[in-house]
Chain A
């Protein structure tokens, strides 16, 4: 399955992925209208210390502990992608308690939110990847490396 991966050495720390993510999931047509002057709530976030930077978003684990732990059943698998039915979510944030990557986030309306690989919006492919100016974020198949 194709997932989003970061190439840390290429990340500029520009945070564009966060803006592209917030815009992609805003449902709006105009980026400036969607984001200007508002706090953004992206589903990807850039971490770093000035020397190192990289983006973190959902790993779409094959055996996702967030899906197993979700009290409402809002988090679920769709053909390998971890998706969230935000209408079903009650905002208990147990997913935030268990995600080892810090990739599930409290959303602005109380419900949790997370990367759904832009499968649920009009982009069709992850907007963070498309908009990354240095190809530090890619969308591809990779071998399993973790136990």
Chain B
């Protein structure tokens, strides 16, 4: 009976179990989670604070998942060391596990550049785990002034989650616009105006020069008093375990299209990995939940002896903040199509005859049709691009292709 070990109990790890079980009903699976809870969608933690979900509903594949899939799940324990030659994993509690196939899904760790005086701040946290959200739930009161460093996805979702709980929420970021990793300045402007109209204060193009206990002096000279600090500046793939074992690691753990690392019988999946970005052709950390899920499943299938590939990874992001929805995918060069109204904005990007990216603000219905154009590298001259750029639908594909898409089981 094959012995599988999965390190990490988030989306990639759970999907890896699903992948293994799709082929191997009998193998022995052990899953390690450093956290007390696992099998929950990390992005849900802001919705938890907002009251849109609760602990029971947060379970990604349901509370019976491990039992139903006959997984021995070990919580609160870390993988300390891998001996790749002898196929043995040492755990933080001193135990060892022998494996035939191992998948590392360690995700990412918050990254905070050194800030002067940060150690003087008593109440501070990151916003990555359920534990962080539970700490904020206990700590933030109606009178709390919350300062969030980082106006990316994590920082802004945290701001949304805390908006009705806190006295005030201020988000500060060195970038000159919000969500600078996935939006351009113009599209971010819609988001910034939306947030400010809902009481979330922004300080963009500015960052903290020094902390003094309960206040921060910004580079601009402004002094911001606060009660709780959330550090959401950035994240980095957690590569330590595999780097220590001698695997090829760049910014993330290097994996091929089958999610294999450079070490025998060791796979990796999710935010800890670096793989080929379909759009740019370059190696990139494609950290988003859909990719983690698809990669984890792909790794699991291959670990169980199947043949799966993950070679269509792209950057993509869907975010709703205080009721405004924004979506982006791929890269952004010069837009080939731009459309703006008071409440919405659309930009499509193309290069070498294929769609390479888009940004949608406000009106996001049908966005997946654009995403599929990117993932399938559909030649734009094969469809009616004039029509599809105005509104995503299946009409511009023509009857023949549409019949193929809609006419059979998929």
A-side residues, CB < 8 A to B, are 1, 3, 5-6, 8, 47-49, 52, 54, 56, 59, 61-62, 65, 68-73, 87-88, 90-102, 104-106, 142-146
Contacts and interface: CB of A to CB of B under 8 A. Distances in A.
Given A93-B318, A97-B318, A98-B290, A5 B407 contact: yes
B68 interface: no
A68 B294 contact: yes
A47 B410 contact: no
Given A102-B368, A102-B394, A97 B409 contact: no
Given A71-B41, A72-B58, A93-B327, A49 B407 contact: no
A48 B297 CA distance: 37
B21 to A, nearest CB: 14
Interface in B296-353: 297, 316-320, 325, 327, 329
Given A68-B290, A92-B318, A105-B365, A145 B409 contact: yes
A121 B122 CA distance: 53
A109 to B, nearest CB: 11
A98 B49 CA distance: 26
A69 B317 CA distance: 11
B53 A90 contact: yes
Contacts of A52: 395, 399
Contacts of A105: 365
Given A65-B290, A101-B394, A56 B365 contact: no
B94 interface: no
A108 to B, nearest CB: 13
B46 to A, nearest CB: 9
B129 to A, nearest CB: 15
A22 to B, nearest CB: 16
A96 B367 contact: yes
A62 B57 contact: no
A91 B375 CA distance: 23
A144 B408 CA distance: 5
Interface stretch (B28-36, B59-67, B80-88, B192-200): B59-67
A52 B369 CA distance: 19
Contact of B368 (A5, A72, A100, A143): A100
Contacts of B403: 8
A70 B53 CA distance: 14
Q: Chain B at the A interface: mostly helix, strand, loop or mixed?
A: mixed
Contact of B395 (A49, A87, A97): A49
A90 B52 contact: yes
A54 B410 contact: no
Contacts of A65: 290, 294
Given A5-B407, A90-B44, 4 more contacts: A54-B394, A56-B394, A93-B364, A100-B369
A106 B323 CA distance: 12
Contact of A96 (B61, B368, B395): B368
23 contacts: A47-B395, A48-B395, A49-B387, A52-B395, A54-B406, A61-B410, A68-B290, A69-B290, A73-B41, A92-B43, A95-B368, A96-B365, A97-B327, A97-B367, A100-B368, A102-B368, A102-B392, A105-B365, A142-B407, A143-B408, A145-B407, A146-B405, A146-B410
A71 B44 contact: yes
B47 interface: yes
A98 B372 CA distance: 7
B227 to A, nearest CB: 27
A8 B399 contact: yes
B170 interface: no
A68 B368 CA distance: 14
B366 interface: yes
A97 B392 CA distance: 12
B300 to A, nearest CB: 12
A54 B403 CA distance: 10
Q: Which of B59, B325, B387 has the most CB of A within 10 A?
A: B325
A114 to B, nearest CB: 12
